[in-house]
């Protein structure tokens, strides 16, 4: 690990990565794995040795310090740190258990989490070492300059006459396309497999209205018995709230936690779902939840820290 | 060359014989071609240009290489340049001993150093290619979007289609990457295994984790 | 070299002595520079870079010239390249005896049409000129080095001095480009679509990304 030091301190180009603050606070650690490896090497521990308790404490205090510094750190990275911190905490807890006894699934899960963390750390360490090799190699190679001179005039003259078929308008189109500011590419979490069809609250409200007008009071269970999936159940629930707000239905509940019965109280025929707000978006949601005191207060404190 | 069909067909050996009649012969002809290339040329391309068998050209190339390195010179002094086979082709480079002197004359081409993060990302892509950003992120434990953009911009990695399963873009290293690293092929990268004590089946681990 | 200011000042001849300790000595150092420069270099420029007296460099240049012409080789065979002094500058060229072979090689695989990548790069340069390669790379999101070389070779763009800030070479379109496009002046290029940020604002957008 002795070679990690100089490599980490090697002068780097101005932060092309665009998030200098975060890296600087971490003394140039490029991520949680890097920080963990740094801590492990600081204590001269073998990475495969199960002696993570001390490292865990330091890692968590790093995170605390980050938090106290109160700056906006990038959410992705913060969550990465938290995932690792949580894993480490679990591991630390596991060390408090009687050793050598694997009793239940939870113990096994902990052991697996430990192995996974080690595996990922080892892999990261391997790539870090390779990256250092690669960096040295790139630097050595940069000392060699390839011959790439422009064509001598007599050879350039031999090139076939350029065929140019691009009109002025097409050329401008090309420029416009190339110069268009590119939106950062979205993270490539594949969403293609999540093709849940959108369920319209209004459509569901129409179905409910029809059933209540035709069949009299119905329980919530009966109203949702034919729902193909949870989204439909949710949509019908939201539709009921909407309709209640519009005062076309009433709820009856005989006893606490008993069956909820819904009955139609609106006009006979000319009620229309047009009166409902678009896709539930206008339903007023309580602006602040009074019970959630501690969190906003904490956020406020963070703001003052600097 | 494209007019060859119109002209009287030349017997293959006549062209070779022509070469021998020129001062310096095939060796000098090869040097002349090496003087005008601006990217590595394969031995097949060079053999086509000289109308010589590929094996003969390969021998000549190796002779030139030794010659420039000082092996065949009377006083054994190396030349200020060298002939190297990298990224699948041959090309002339200034000798690295003179980097300081040469750099004063070269305005462009020497790009800024890569950051630690960029190097690590490049290493993961080089060994796991073709690979998606999500996979690289998982291995490095951080988001790599902007680093990947930088690497593409610098021509070190490129698009390699989309992953049929996740639909994510895949990346691979370019021939420019090989050139910058001075190797002929990705398989010449140092082996990863010695850096991974006792974990031969890591691929299984990180795959399941994404 | 850059540490020179911190170190004790070196007498001019001592630096020359350093050169002698390198393999091949001053002659090889000179060759290294000559082999990779694109623009001819004067003997004064070369002498400054090598930290040698101009007269010594001139002698070395003449020695190299004879050497390449076969004068100092044991079998008197000339090399495939020659050192020529044109307009006061020195540069290595392929030997003219091999012009036929070299032109055959150059024409092989040459297309008369620009690739899509070349056209897009040209479009960016046309609308952003004068502009550096690094900037064009940043805008296009890919490395454009070889495409820019092609465009220069095709006479569509040319050198427009160096960027005072970064020191990078700047490029602009040529009158041949205007001719091919059928316009008399760059100002006749169509205005870009209104939804694009004004060209003057583009700097803010792509600069952050370089």
- Read off the tokens for A203: 């459509």
Residue the block writes with tokens 């209205």: A209
Q: What is the pLDDT of residues A166-216, one digit of tens each?
A: 899 899 999 988 888 765 544 444 444 444 446 677 788 888 888 888 777
Q: How far is the first Cα of chain B from the last one, in angstroms, to the nearest whole number?
A: 54
How far is residue A90's CA from residue A242's CA, in Å, rounded to a whole number? 45
Q: Are B81 and C35 within 8 A, CB to CB?
A: yes
Q: How many secondary structure helices (H) and strands (E) does chain B include?
A: 10, 5
Nearest CA in chain C to A143: C32
How far is residue B142's CA from residue A78's CA, in Å, rounded to a whole number? 9
ipTM here: 0.80
Q: Which chains touch C (3 or more CB pairs under 8 A)?
A: A, B
Three-state SS for B79? Answer: coil
Nearest CA in chain B to A11: B115
What per-residue confidence (pLDDT) applies to C31? Answer: 95
How far is residue C37's CA from residue A60's CA, in Å, rounded to a whole number? 55
**Could you tell me the sign of the dihedral formed by the alpha carbons of C42, C46, C47, C49, in that order?**
positive
Among A77-91, A231-245, B181-195, the range scoring the smallest mean pLDDT is A77-91
- Read off the tokens for A131: 């990256």
Q: Are B24 and C105 within 8 A, CB to CB?
A: no
How far is residue B11's CA from residue B8's CA, in Å, rounded to a whole number? 10
All residue ranges of chain B with pLDDT < 50 are 1-17, 199-210
What per-residue confidence (pLDDT) applies to A133? Answer: 92
pLDDT band at C162 (very low <50, low <70, confident <90, very high): confident
What per-residue confidence (pLDDT) applies to B69? Answer: 92
How far is residue B87's CA from residue B185's CA, in Å, rounded to a whole number? 6
What per-residue confidence (pLDDT) applies to B207? Answer: 39
What per-residue confidence (pLDDT) applies to B173? Answer: 96
What per-residue confidence (pLDDT) applies to A253? Answer: 76
- Read off the tokens for C59: 């002698």
What per-residue confidence (pLDDT) applies to C63? Answer: 93
Q: Are A188 and B132 within 8 A, CB to CB?
A: yes
How far is residue B200's CA from residue C12's CA, in Å, rounded to a whole number? 57
Partners of residue A49 in chain B, C-beta under 8 Å: none
Q: What is the pLDDT of residues A16-68, one digit of tens each?
A: 333 333 333 444 567 778 877 777 777 666 555 555 667 777 777 777 776 67
What per-residue confidence (pLDDT) applies to B90? Answer: 96
Residue the block writes with tokens 């040795």: A49
- Read off the tokens for B62: 């190796």
The more confident residue out of A200 and A146 is A146
Q: What is the pLDDT of residues C35-49, one digit of tens each?
A: 999 889 999 999 999
What per-residue confidence (pLDDT) applies to A26? Answer: 45
CA distance C78 to chain B (A): 5
Chain B interface includes C160 (CB < 8 A): no
Residue the block writes with tokens 């540069």: C91
By the 10 Å C-beta count (0-12 exposed, 13-18 middle, 19+ buried), A115 is classed as exposed
Q: Is the pLDDT of residue A131 over 70?
A: yes
What per-residue confidence (pLDDT) applies to A269? Answer: 66
Quickly count: other Cβ atoms within 10 Å of residue A176's Cβ. 17
Q: Is the pLDDT of residue A288 over 50?
A: no
pLDDT band at A279 (very low <50, low <70, confident <90, very high): very low
The more confident residue out of A181 and A73 is A181
Q: Are C133 and B108 within 8 A, CB to CB?
A: yes
Nearest CA in chain A to B95: A144
Q: Is the pLDDT of residue A254 over 80?
A: no
Q: How far is the first Cα of chain C from the last one, in angstroms, to the nearest whole number?
A: 28
- Read off the tokens for C2: 């850059």
Which residues are CB-neighbours of B44 under 8 A, at least 6 positions away? B54
Q: What is the pLDDT of residues C53-104, one digit of tens each?
A: 999 999 999 999 999 998 765 567 899 999 999 888 999 999 999 999 999 8
- B71 DSSP 8-state letter: S
**Could you tell me the sign of the dihedral formed by the alpha carbons of A225, A230, A231, A236, in that order?**
positive
What per-residue confidence (pLDDT) applies to C35? Answer: 94
What per-residue confidence (pLDDT) applies to A93? Answer: 67
Rounded to 5°, angle at Cα B204 from B199 and B210: 120
Partners of residue B39 in chain A, C-beta under 8 Å: 148
How far is residue A251's CA from residue A208's CA, in Å, rounded to a whole number? 13
Q: What are phi and psi for residue C157, nearest 5 degrees?
A: -130, 165
Which residues are CB-neighbours of A108 under 8 A, at least 6 positions away? A102
Q: Is the pLDDT of residue C2 over 80?
A: no
Q: How far is the first Cα of chain A from the last one, in angstroms, to the nearest whole number?
A: 35
Chain C interface includes B180 (CB < 8 A): no
What per-residue confidence (pLDDT) applies to A241? Answer: 81
How far is residue C56's CA from residue C52's CA, in Å, rounded to a whole number? 7
Q: What is the mean pLDDT of chain C?
A: 82
Which residues are CB-neighbours of B89 under 8 A, at least 6 positions away? B39, B40, B41, B42, B45
What per-residue confidence (pLDDT) applies to B84? Answer: 95
Q: Are B145 and A10 within 8 A, CB to CB?
A: no
Q: Are B166 and A148 within 8 A, CB to CB?
A: no
Q: What is the mean pLDDT of chain A?
A: 68
Nearest CA in chain A to B168: A188
Chain B interface includes C31 (CB < 8 A): yes
Chain C interface includes B84 (CB < 8 A): no
Which residues are CB-neighbours of A95 under 8 A, at least 6 positions away? A50, A52, A53
């Amino acid at each position: 690990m002795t070679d990690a030091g100089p490599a980490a301190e090697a002068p780097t180009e101005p932060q092309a990565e665009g998030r200098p603050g975060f890296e600087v606070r971490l003394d140039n650690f490029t991520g949680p794995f890097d920080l963990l490896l740094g801590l492990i090497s600081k204590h001269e521990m073998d990475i495969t040795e199960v002696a993570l308790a001390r490292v865990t404490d330091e890692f968590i205090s790093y995170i605390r310090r980050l938090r106290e510094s109160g700056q906006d750190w990038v959410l992705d990275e913060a969550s990465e740190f938290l995932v690792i911190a949580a894993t480490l905490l679990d591991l630390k807890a596991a060390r408090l258990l009687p050793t050598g006894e694997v009793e239940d699934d939870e113990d096994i899960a902990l052991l697996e989490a430990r192995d996974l963390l080690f595996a990922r750390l080892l892999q990261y360490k391997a790539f870090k070492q390779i990256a250092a090799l690669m960096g040295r190699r790139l630097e050595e190679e940069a000392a060699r300059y390839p011959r790439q001179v422009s064509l001598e005039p007599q050879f350039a003259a031999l090139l076939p006459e350029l065929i140019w078929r691009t009109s002025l308008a097409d050329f401008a189109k090309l420029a416009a396309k190339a110069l268009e500011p590119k939106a950062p590419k979205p993270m490539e979490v594949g969403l293609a497999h999540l093709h849940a069809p959108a369920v319209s609250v209004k459509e569901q409200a129409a179905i409910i209205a029809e059933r209540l007008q035709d069949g009299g009071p119905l329980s919530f269970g009966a109203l949702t018995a034919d729902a193909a999936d949870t989204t439909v159940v949710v949509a019908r629930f939201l539709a009921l709230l909407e309709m209640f707000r519009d005062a076309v239905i009433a709820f009856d509940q005989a006893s606490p936690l008993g069956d909820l019965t819904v009955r139609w109280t609106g006009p006979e025929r000319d009620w229309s779902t047009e009166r409902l707000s678009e896709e539930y978006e206008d339903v007023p949601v309580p602006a602040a939840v009074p019970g959630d005191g501690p969190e906003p207060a904490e956020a406020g404190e963070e703001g003052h820290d600097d | 060359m494209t007019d060859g069909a119109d002209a009287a067909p030349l017997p293959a050996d006549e062209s070779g014989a022509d070469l021998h009649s020129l001062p310096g012969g095939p060796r000098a002809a090869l040097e002349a071609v090496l003087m005008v290339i601006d990217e590595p040329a394969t031995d097949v391309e060079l053999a086509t240009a000289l109308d010589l068998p590929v094996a003969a050209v390969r021998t000549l190339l190796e002779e030139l290489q030794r010659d420039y390195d000082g092996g065949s010179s009377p006083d054994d002094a190396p030349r200020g340049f060298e002939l190297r086979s990298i990224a699948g082709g041959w090309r002339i480079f200034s000798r690295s001993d003179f980097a300081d002197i040469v750099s004063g004359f070269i305005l462009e081409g020497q790009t800024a150093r890569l950051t630690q993060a960029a190097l690590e990302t490049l290493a993961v892509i080089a060994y796991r290619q073709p690979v998606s950003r999500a996979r690289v992120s998982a291995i490095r434990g951080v988001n790599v979007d902007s680093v990947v953009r930088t690497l593409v911009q610098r021509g070190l990695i490129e698009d390699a289609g989309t992953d049929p399963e996740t639909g994510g873009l895949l990346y691979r290293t370019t021939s420019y990457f090989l050139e910058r690293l001075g190797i002929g092929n990705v398989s010449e990268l140092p082996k990863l295994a010695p850096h991974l004590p006792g974990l031969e089946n890591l691929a299984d681990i990180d795959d399941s984790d994404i």
